[in-house]
Chain A
Amino acid sequence: MFVLPPPPRYSTTAGHNGLPPGTALPMIETNNILSNPSGPEYQFLVGEGLYVLKEDLHLATPPPHPSETPLANPNPLSTAPQSATAGTRLTLLNLDVNPLSPAIYRTASRSDGAHGGVQESPDERQSSTDLRESSSDAGRMSSVDNSLFRANTNTPAFGEGNTLLAPAAQKDPNKRRKPKNNMTKSNSSFISRVINHESLPKRLQERARDGLFAFANINRAFQWLDLSSPTKAEYLTKILFTKAHCLCHDVNKLTKSATHIDVVMGFSTGEIIWWEPISQRYTRLNKNGSINGTPVSQIEWIPGAENLFLASHMDGTLVVYDKEKEDSIFAPEDEGNPRASGDTNGTGRVNYTSQIYVHKSVHSRNQKANPVAVWKLSNQRINAFAFSPDNQHLAVVSEDGTLRIIDYLKEALLDLHYSYYGGLTCVCWSPDGKYVVTGGQDDVISIWCPSESPALIARCQGHHSWVTSVAFDPWRCDERNYRFGSVGEDRRLCLWDFSVGMLHRPRAASVRQRGSISSRPGVSPLHRAETFATAGTSGSGRLRSDSNLSSSGAPLGAADGERERVLPHPVEPRATTATLPPVLSKTVDDDVLCWLGFTSDAILTSCKNGKQSQSPT
C-alpha cells in the first residue's frame, strides 16, 4: 500500500523555486480540475445497471516543499531511504446523521447518502436502480442495526472500566473541545501553508446539509472538499505540510456536527495531527515521533470513542492515542504485558505468531498522557487495519502477509492467517461482520470467515497486479449475498459477488447467524470470539495454570492461556480452495488506483496522483 511517490509531473530539471521570472511552469499543479469524460470506455455494465463515469476530479499534487532539495538527475541506485507515501485516500462525510448513538454503524454515514441528491441520476435506469437498492438497503440496515444492538449490549466500550480514560466532563455536551492551536496563524515548521477558500464561511452556510464532504490526502497536501457543491473542484481548505507526507486520515463519525468535525491525520514522520476544520484549529500528537517515530500507515477513530483513535505504525505497532492528551516519552510497561514473560521459552525470542505484545494496556493506571495503549504485533510493517462492525474485533494486515484478528477490547490475538504469498495490503469487514476480505501482493483477494476452520472461504482472481483497496458495497449486500469491490495497481476496478451457497464448502452453522462473530455460538476450537462476549463465564475455563493474571483485571487474564491455541494457520493449498471470478474487471483509470469507496449510488475510486473519479450507477 505504501508505494513510492509517483514520478513528479513537473519537470525536475527546472527547479520550482529560484527560477528566473517569466519562466513558465506549466507542470505545477495548483488547482483541482474537474472533468466529465464520456464515452463507452468510461462505462461498464453489471447486474444492477450501467455505471457511467460521472466526474473525474483531479486533485492538484503538490510539488515538494522549496526547502526540500529537488531531485536532479536521480541516481536510480541511490540507496537513500525513500520516504513513505500513500496515494490519495479519501474519507467521505455526511453531517446529516444523528451523531449521538454510540452504536453507530460504521457505514452509517454512507447510508445517509441514499436519500440524498448528492449526484443527480443521469438517466432513468439510474433512478430505478436507486429505488430498488434503497429499499433493499433499508431492510438490510435495520437488521444489521438489530444485531449490532444485540452485540453492543454485551460489549463494553473500549477502555471501559478504566475511569482514567473517561473524557473530562463537559458543561455543555454539545460543545466540543477544540484543538489548541490556530492552523491559519500557525508558525509551526511542520505546516507550510494553509489556504482557505475565500468564501469558506459562506459556502459552509449555504451548502445542503446532507451533502457529502470529502477529505483527501495527496502527498504533502490535505484537502477538504465539498462534493455537493457545484464548485466541488474548489477546495474548502487546503493544507500544505512542509516535508511530511500525509498518509492517512479519518473523521470521527461520532462527534461530527455542523459545527465540529474531528479529523486525525497520520504522517510519514509518525506524527499525528488532530484538526478541526470548522474552527481551523489543530493539535500535534506524537510530536517528533516521541512515542513512535515510524510512519503511520492507517489511522482510525475507535468506534464509539470521542477521543481515542488507533494508529498503525510501520514498525508493526498499534498505538491508541487520546486526542486531548499530551505526549510523553513512552517506555513499555511491564505490568501491562503479562504475556511477554510467559512466552519466552528459554530463548528470550519473541514469538509474534502466537500473541500480541501489550506494551501498554488500555487498562494501565498510568493514563495521564499519550499513548493510551501500545500493542506490538510484529516487526513487519502494518499495512492496514479495520474495525469489525460490532466494534469488538480488529483485522490487521501486514507486509509479511499476515491477517490478524484481534480482540482489541481484550487486547488479545485471536487468529493469525497467511496470504497465499506476499504481503497483504488492505482489509475490510463485510457489513454484517461475518467475513473479512483482504487484498495483497499475490494479486488475489481472499475471503475469510474468522469463525470457521479453515477460515479461508475463497480466493478471488481477477486483478493483474497487487490489490490496493477493498471495500464492501453495503447497498448491495444482504443476508446471503455480498458485493464488494477492489482496486489495484493494475488500474482495474473489480466487482465481486459471492454468496454463501455459491461457494462450495457447506457451512451450515454460520448461514443463519447474523451479525458479528461474537454473537455466534461457534464450536470450532479456533473460534474463541464468542467467549469474549461473555468473558466472565467462559473465560475462567480457558485459564491455564501458568497464566499470571495481571493486575489490570480479569478480562485481560482470560486471554492469557490461549497462547497455544493461537497457532498460525497453514496456508491453504490452491487445490482445496474455491476461486471466485469477478463480475466485473475494468481498467478505470490511467494511473495506479489506491482507494475505493461506495456510496449508495456511486463508486468512488482514487489513484496515486490525486485523481478521484466517480462512477455513479
Chain B
Amino acid sequence: MAGFFQKLKGSGSGVSKSDNTASAKNKKEEPQPDLTPLEKLLHNAGPIREDGSDKFFGLENFGNTCYCNSIVQALYHSEQFREHVVNYPPPLPGNESNGTNWKVNVTVRPPVQAEANGNATGPSKPRQSFGGPQLPPAVPPLRPEDKPDSPEYKKKQAMLRGPVLDLAQENVDPSGMEECTFTGLRDIFRAMIHSQSRTGVISPQRFLDIFKRNNEMFRNSMHQDAHEFYGIVLNDVIANVEANAKRMQELADSKSDNDLSQTEDTPLAARTQDAAGLMTRSTGTGWVHDIFEGVLTSETRCLTCETASQRDETFLDLSIDLEEHSSVTACLLNFSAEEMLCERNKFHCDHCGGLQEAEKRMKVKKLPKVLALHLKRFKYTEDYSRLQKLFHRVVYPYHLRMFMTTDDAEDPDRMYELYAVVVHIGGNAYHGHYVAVIKTKDRGWLLFDDEMVEPVDKHFVRNFFGDKPGMACAYVLFYQETTFEKVREEMDVEGLDQVKLATQTADSATTTELPNGSSTAVLSKLNSQPLSPVDENETLAALDQARSAPPEIDVTTPSAPLPAPLSVSEVHPLVAAPPPGSAVMTEADQAATVPPKTKAQLAKEKKELKAREKVEEKARKAAEKEQARLAAKERTEAQRKRSEAARLEREQLAQVLKESKQMAEEEEKRRRREAGTTTTTDTATSSDGGVGSGGGGDSEHEQHHRHGLFNRAGRTSKSMTRKSFAFLHIGQNTDENKGGGGAGGDVKGYKTDRSEASEDGIAKGEGSLLGTKENGMPHNSQHPKNGTSNGANGSNSSNSSNSTGNGTPAKKASNPFLVRAIPRSETAPGAVDQLRRTPDKHDREKERDSKEIQKPPLKERFSFGLGRKKSSKFLSSAS
C-alpha cells in the first residue's frame, strides 16, 4: 500500500531530476499507475452533475492552438458563462427535449485504430490495442514524452486514456442558429457536459475551423496571443448572439404577422414566437454583457474653468501596464492614476470653448461580474522591431477589490476571487505555450495544459508572478465576483491542502530520517480535497448509473468496435465511481484490465509512431520556420529603416516644437514627414490587401450608428489605425457575423475621449512606423481621412485646434470622406477591436522613450500600442 502511494506520488508531483530517471526505470517494469492525480481526486465523486461543473477535459492541441485551449478552459469554468452558453438559445417551451438536451454531434475517437481519426489537420495520435504481442522494452527513454514526469508524457497519456471526443463535423443547431464561433464554443461545452466521463480530451477541431474561417490572422500555425483570442471570441459571441436574437425577432414578427390567427394550430410558429418572447423577456442577448462588461468613466477636469466632464465607456477587460516589482492592485491603481492633458494633448473644454489643460482620471463605474485583467507583458523593444516579454515580478492576490471605483459605483467594495490564470511560458511574444490554472467549483485548482489536466496546489498559482526560472508568467487573470461570506466559508473548508503542502515539504526535507513520510503526505492530499459529503454517500448509486447508462453522446460510427474500451471504462474509477476507500480495489481492477506488458509494448509502438510523426513534423516545421524567418527578416529590416526614419522625424518635430511654435515651419515639417510616410508606405504596399476586407464594413458602420456611443473624431482615428490591419485580411471573407462582432466589440470598448488631434499626431509621428504595416491599405481611402485630420493636426502642436475629442459637428460635416473611409477600415479583424476595446493606458516603455523628445500626448502613447500589436500580427501572418 505504501509503495503504491509512493509511486503515485512520484508520478503525480513532478519531482526533481534524479528522481525522474529512477522512477522512469521503475515504470518500465511496473504497470503504469493507472490513476492519474486527477482521477485520484475524482475517484469518489458521486453522480455526474448536470451543470458540467465536474467535467475536467483536456483540449487537444493542433499545433500552437494552446492559446485557444487555455482561454476556452477559462471560459468553461466560469460558471455563469458556461450556464448561459449552454442554455442559449433558451429551450423552446413546448419542446424541452429539443433545447439544451439535444445531442452534440460528437465522435468518440476510437481508441484502437489510429486510422480512425479522419480529421484532416489534427496530428493523428495513434493508439495501440491492448494485449498485442509483448515486446521487451527496447530503447531507454530519450524523448521528452517518454519521461513520466514530463508534460509531454502526461499529455500523451491523456490522449491514450481517452475518451477523446472529436468535434469535427458541423452541428446543425435545432434552433436554427447558423454555425458560428458561439455555436462552436457551445458545442464544446455541451460535449463536455453530456459526456459520461468526467475526464477525457476534447478535440475542438470544428470550433477552431470556424474561428479561423472568421479570423484570418489566426489562420496559420503560429503562436498567437491568447488575450487577443479571448477578445475576439467574446466579441464574436456577442455578435452571434445578437444576430440570432435579431433573426428570431424577425422570424417572430413575420410569423405573427401572417399567422396571428393560426398560432394555435402551427406549433412551429408558436414555438418561435414563444422563443422570441422568452428571449426578449430574459434579456436574451444581454448575458454576455452582464457577465463581462464593465463601465469605465473618464473624468476630465478642465484646469481653466474647473469644469469636470465625464465620459463613460464599456470594457470587456482591462489591459494594465506593468511595473517592476508591483502588484496587480498597484497596476490597477496606476491605470486609473491622474494624468495631465497638456501640450499637444490638450483637452477641448466645451465650457471654456477651447483647448485647455486638464486632468484626467479613469475610474470604474460598473464592475463586471467577471473581471479579466490583461497584464501587458509584451512590449516593443527600443527599436520597435519586435515584441519583448517583460518578466517583471507582478504579484496577484487570490482575492481582489477595486480601489479605483467612482463614488457612485454600485457595490464599490465588490469582492473578486481569482479563478483562472492564463500563463504564458516562453521568452517572447512569438513563441511559447499557454496553459491555464483554474480554480474549479469544488475540486480546488487544476492545471489545464492542452490535453492534460492535473490537480495542483493552491500555491501553485503563485508560481507565475514572473520572476521564477522557466519563463512562465501570468498573462491574463480572471477574477470573478464573489461575496465575503463565500470566501469565509471556503477558507474554512480549504486550508487543509496547505497543511498538506507543508507536510510534503517537511517530508521531502526529512526524507533521510523519515522514509515513510511520503505516504502520509499523499494520503493527506487525498483527504484534503474538499469533497461534498453528499457525493460520497452517493457513490454506489453512481456506480449503478454509470454501468447501466448508455452514453448520452451521439456516437457516430466509430469504425472500431467499442466493447473493449467500454469494458475498460466500466471499471474505470472515473466513469463508475467505486465505493469509498476503494484504492486497493481500483488497483486490482487496473491490474486486471491492463496487463503491464501490454502497456510497455504499447508505449513502445507509440513511440515509434511518434518518432515518425515527429520527423515529418520537424521537417514541416523547419520549412515553416525558414519561411517565417525569411519573411520576418525582410520585414524587420524594412521596419527598422522605417522606424529610424520615424524617430528622426519625431525628433525633428520635437525640436521644432521647443524652439519655435511657428506654424509655417511646422507645416513644412509635417509635409516632409508626410511625404516620408507615403513613400515608405508605398514601398511596402502590396496591392491585394485592402480590397478584400471591404465587405463587412457597412454593417459594422451601421452598428456604430446604432450604438451611437462615440463621437466621430474618435471613430476616425480608430478607423485609421484599423486600416493598417486591413492587409492582414487578404481575402478575408466578408462574413457579416464577424464584422458585426467586431463592431460590437468596438462599440463596447471603444475609447472616445482622446482627442483626435493627438491621435492623428501619433499616426503622424509614428506614421512611418505604422506605414510599414499599412501596406495593404488602399491609399485613396487613407488619404481622405488621414489627410484631413492630418491637415488639421499635422500642424498639430500649435493649432490642433479643431480636431478634438469632442468632434465638433462642423468637422463631421466638412469631411465627406470620413464616412466612406470608415467601413473599409473597419473590417479589420477583431484584433483591433480588442485593442480598442481594451482601455490601453500608456505604454511605459514608450513613454520613457519619448520623454527625451517630448512628453508625448496620451493618444500617441496609446496608439503606439496599436502599432506594436500590428507588427506582431504582421509577423505572424507573414509566413
Do these two chains really belong together in a complex?
Answer: yes
Binding site for B on A (CB under 8 A): 4, 6-7, 12, 69-72, 74-84, 189, 243-244, 268-271, 288-289, 293-295, 313-316, 349-353, 378-381, 399-401, 418, 420-423, 441-443, 461, 463-466, 489-491, 568, 570-571, 573-575, 592
Shortest A343–chain B CB gap in Å is 13
Inter-chain contact A294/B472, CB cutoff 8 Å: no
Inter-chain contact B395/A465, CB cutoff 8 Å: yes
Inter-chain contact B454/A400, CB cutoff 8 Å: no
How far, in angstroms, from A350 to B513 measured CA to CA in the complex? 34
Q: Taking chain B's interface residues, is the majority helix, strand, or loop, or is none over half, making it mixed?
A: mixed
Inter-chain contact B460/A84, CB cutoff 8 Å: no
Selected from B492, B494, B506, the residue in CB contact (under 8 A) with A293 is B506
Inter-chain contact B495/A294, CB cutoff 8 Å: no
Q: 6 other contacts beyond A294-B502, A421-B416, with CB at 8 A cut-off?
A: A6-B467, A83-B505, A269-B506, A379-B494, A441-B397, A574-B403
Selected from B323, B399, B499, B513, the residue in CB contact (under 8 A) with A189 is B513
Inter-chain contact A82/B330, CB cutoff 8 Å: no
Inter-chain contact A490/B326, CB cutoff 8 Å: yes
Shortest A590–chain B CB gap in Å is 9
Q: Is B254 an interface residue (CB 8 A)?
A: no
Shortest A301–chain B CB gap in Å is 23
Inter-chain contact B399/A422, CB cutoff 8 Å: yes
How far, in angstroms, from A315 to B517 measured CA to CA in the complex? 17
Chain B residue numbers with a CB within 8 Å of A489 are: 325, 327, 393, 395
Q: Is B415 an interface residue (CB 8 A)?
A: yes
21 A–B contacts, CB within 8 A, in A order: A4-B462, A6-B467, A12-B469, A74-B468, A75-B14, A75-B150, A77-B14, A79-B14, A80-B14, A82-B459, A83-B505, A83-B509, A189-B512, A269-B510, A289-B510, A315-B495, A465-B327, A466-B327, A466-B397, A574-B413, A592-B393
Inter-chain contact A441/B425, CB cutoff 8 Å: no
Residue of B nearest to A267 (CB): B509
How many interface residues does B have (CB within 8 Å)?
72
Chain B residue numbers with a CB within 8 Å of A422 are: 397-400
How far, in angstroms, from A70 to B19 measured CA to CA in the complex? 12
Inter-chain contact A463/B330, CB cutoff 8 Å: yes
Residue of B nearest to A574 (CB): B413
Inter-chain contact B499/A379, CB cutoff 8 Å: yes
Assuming A79-B12, A379-B496, A380-B498, is B330 touching A465 (CB within 8 A)?
yes
Q: Is B508 an interface residue (CB 8 A)?
A: yes
How far, in angstroms, from A461 to B333 measured CA to CA in the complex? 11
How far, in angstroms, from A575 to B484 measured CA to CA in the complex? 17
Q: Interface readout for B357-401 with A: 1 if CB under 8 Å, 0 if not?
A: 000000000000000000000000000000000000101011111
How far, in angstroms, from A399 to B407 measured CA to CA in the complex? 30
Inter-chain contact B470/A72, CB cutoff 8 Å: no
Selected from A76, A243, A316, A443, the residue in CB contact (under 8 A) with B468 is A76
Chain A residue numbers with a CB within 8 Å of B277 are: none
Inter-chain contact A421/B400, CB cutoff 8 Å: yes
Shortest A82–chain B CB gap in Å is 7
Tell me which of A293, A400, A422, A573 has the highest count of chain B C-beta atoms within 10 A of its own C-beta.
A293
Inter-chain contact B15/A421, CB cutoff 8 Å: no
Chain A residue numbers with a CB within 8 Å of B501 are: 81
Assuming A79-B14, A490-B326, is B506 touching A315 (CB within 8 A)?
no
Chain A residue numbers with a CB within 8 Å of B565 are: none
Inter-chain contact A353/B488, CB cutoff 8 Å: yes
Q: Is B652 an interface residue (CB 8 A)?
A: no
Shortest B743–chain A CB gap in Å is 36
Inter-chain contact A571/B15, CB cutoff 8 Å: no
Assuming A289-B510, A420-B401, A443-B330, is B470 touching A76 (CB within 8 A)?
yes
How far, in angstroms, from A378 to B490 measured CA to CA in the complex? 12
Q: Is B428 an interface residue (CB 8 A)?
A: no
Q: Is B412 an interface residue (CB 8 A)?
A: yes
Residue of A nearest to B151 (CB): A77
Tell me which of B18, B459, B494 has the highest count of chain A C-beta atoms within 10 A of its own C-beta.
B459
Inter-chain contact A288/B447, CB cutoff 8 Å: no
Inter-chain contact B395/A243, CB cutoff 8 Å: no
Chain A residue numbers with a CB within 8 Å of B399 are: 401, 421-422
Selected from A268, A353, A465, the residue in CB contact (under 8 A) with B509 is A268
Inter-chain contact B16/A268, CB cutoff 8 Å: no
Residue of B nearest to A587 (CB): B325
Chain B residue numbers with a CB within 8 Å of A270 are: 502, 506
Chain B residue numbers with a CB within 8 Å of A443 are: 327, 329-330
Assuming A7-B468, A74-B469, is B506 touching A268 (CB within 8 A)?
yes
Assuming A489-B393, A573-B412, is B467 touching A79 (CB within 8 A)?
no
How far, in angstroms, from A173 to B507 measured CA to CA in the complex? 40
Assuming A350-B492, A575-B412, is B503 touching A269 (CB within 8 A)?
no
Inter-chain contact A84/B505, CB cutoff 8 Å: yes
Assuming A75-B14, A81-B457, is B492 touching A378 (CB within 8 A)?
yes
Residue of B nearest to A459 (CB): B403
Residue of B nearest to A402 (CB): B491
How far, in angstroms, from A214 to B762 measured CA to CA in the complex? 56
Binding site for A on B (CB under 8 A): 12-19, 149-151, 323, 325-327, 329-330, 393, 395, 397-401, 403, 407, 412-413, 415-416, 423, 425, 435, 447, 449, 454, 456-457, 459-460, 462-464, 467-472, 484, 488, 491-492, 494-496, 498-499, 501-510, 512-514, 517
Inter-chain contact A381/B502, CB cutoff 8 Å: yes
Shortest B534–chain A CB gap in Å is 13
Residue of B nearest to A440 (CB): B397
Chain A residue numbers with a CB within 8 Å of B17 are: 69-72
Inter-chain contact A77/B449, CB cutoff 8 Å: yes
How far, in angstroms, from A350 to B514 measured CA to CA in the complex? 31
The 4 lowest CB-CB distance pairs between A and B, nearest first, are A379-B495, A76-B470, A76-B472, A294-B502
How far, in angstroms, from A71 to B456 measured CA to CA in the complex? 20
Chain A residue numbers with a CB within 8 Å of B19 are: 69
Residue of B nearest to A444 (CB): B329
Selected from B415, B469, B505, the residue in CB contact (under 8 A) with A269 is B505
Shortest B794–chain A CB gap in Å is 39
Shortest A22–chain B CB gap in Å is 25
Assuming A350-B492, A464-B327, is B502 touching A315 (CB within 8 A)?
yes
Inter-chain contact A380/B401, CB cutoff 8 Å: no
Inter-chain contact A295/B506, CB cutoff 8 Å: yes
Chain A residue numbers with a CB within 8 Å of B498 are: 314-315, 379-381, 399
Tell me which of A12, A268, A351 has the highest count of chain B C-beta atoms within 10 A of its own C-beta.
A268
Inter-chain contact A75/B470, CB cutoff 8 Å: yes
How far, in angstroms, from A568 to B488 measured CA to CA in the complex? 10
Chain A residue numbers with a CB within 8 Å of B464 are: 76
Inter-chain contact A464/B449, CB cutoff 8 Å: no
How far, in angstroms, from A381 to B460 measured CA to CA in the complex? 15
Inter-chain contact B397/A423, CB cutoff 8 Å: yes
How far, in angstroms, from A316 to B498 measured CA to CA in the complex? 9
Residue of B nearest to A575 (CB): B412
Chain B residue numbers with a CB within 8 Å of A268 are: 505-506, 509
Selected from B18, B323, B499, the residue in CB contact (under 8 A) with A294 is B499
Inter-chain contact A353/B506, CB cutoff 8 Å: no
Shortest B775–chain A CB gap in Å is 38
Chain A residue numbers with a CB within 8 Å of B326 are: 464-465, 490
Chain A residue numbers with a CB within 8 Å of B18 are: 69
Inter-chain contact B495/A316, CB cutoff 8 Å: yes
How far, in angstroms, from A238 to B506 measured CA to CA in the complex? 23
Chain B residue numbers with a CB within 8 Å of A592 are: 325, 393
Chain A residue numbers with a CB within 8 Å of B449 are: 77
Chain B residue numbers with a CB within 8 Å of A568 are: 488
Inter-chain contact A71/B16, CB cutoff 8 Å: yes
Chain A residue numbers with a CB within 8 Å of B488 are: 353, 568
How far, in angstroms, from A350 to B492 measured CA to CA in the complex? 8
How far, in angstroms, from A441 to B397 measured CA to CA in the complex? 6
Inter-chain contact B395/A4, CB cutoff 8 Å: no
Shortest B488–chain A CB gap in Å is 7
How far, in angstroms, from A355 to B501 measured CA to CA in the complex? 25
Inter-chain contact A269/B509, CB cutoff 8 Å: yes
Selected from B393, B416, B484, the residue in CB contact (under 8 A) with A571 is B484
Residue of A nearest to B455 (CB): A79
